[in-house]
Amino acid sequence: MNKVGIIGGTGLEYPKYLEKVEKIQTETPLGKPSSSLYIGILDGIEVIHIARHGEEHNIPSTKVNYAANIYALKKMDCSYIIATSTCGSLREEICPGEFIVLDQFIDFTKHRVDNIFEELKAGELRYTPMANPFSEELRDHLIEGAIVNGITVHTKGTVITIEGRRFSTRAESNLYRSWKADVINMTTAPEVILSNELCIPYAAIALCTEYDSWRTDAENPSPAEIMELITLNTEKFNKMLIHALKKISQPEE
């Protein structure tokens, strides 16, 4: 039976979409994961849920132990990983409150561990193919889940991941737009890189919460307004995840 790892972003710290949930603690050679692992069942498939920013949402993007999180899911024999996140829009047509299923990324982080094998075995060089970093199978399931539930979704897009914790300047934002990036966040890299290194198919669904600073006629929403938007869309996240999980659990014909 396939096991699926879910990395819950802001607003999805707890797996309310699962049944018979068991909470366990784990350690890895790369340190402690961000949260406990929540193990549950959905439609006969075992799901391991981890909160990227901690159960109390007290770990900023710059302090997340991405390597430990991915290693922990590998240790639990996860065959797939689906991640949720939020993002800022670099395109007029990607509006706050809409979802995007990412298909490419640009890594603009500077200080994060993005290689597990070199951390564990110094000097062991491994080169990971990254031309198509997101699983097409998982992407299709998420897109279908949005469509059948009447959820507005952008079916592809390039995310640029910045270090944080600050947002981008207007000059930076316009630079990213010139690079053909569509959205911006602080978490996809190195998460997707590490998943690929461990040969775990990975996909990410992101909720747009605001326009990035390139747009001069839009006011930045307050943290409270962003959290309200995330809360309003949590059920949509859950519907897309449930659909994807059910598709994974179906035997191939």
Q: Give the domains, in start order, of the chain with CATH numbers.
A: 3-249 (3.40.50.1580)
The answer on pLDDT for 244 being more than 60 is yes
Interhelix angle 188-197/66-75, nearest 10 degrees: 40
Which run of H or of E encompasses 64?
A: none
Which run of H or of E encompasses 138?
A: helix 136-148
- pLDDT tens digits for 162-211? 998 899 999 999 999 999 999 999 999 999 999 999 999 999 999 999 99
Give pairs for 116-125: CB < 8 Å, separation 24+.
116/30, 116/67, 116/70, 116/71, 116/194, 116/197, 116/198, 117/197, 119/30, 119/67, 120/29, 120/30
Q: Is the peptide bond before 165 cis (omega within 30 degrees of 0)?
A: yes
How many percent of the chain have pLDDT more than 90?
86
Q: Which residues have CB under 8 Å from 234's CB, separation 6+?
A: 11, 12
Q: What is the mean pLDDT of the chain?
A: 94
> In the structure, what pLDDT confidence band is assigned to residue 252 with cuts at 50, 70 and 90?
low
- pLDDT tens digits for 96-134? 999 999 999 999 999 998 888 777 776 667 789 999 999
- pLDDT tens digits for 205-218? 999 999 999 999 87
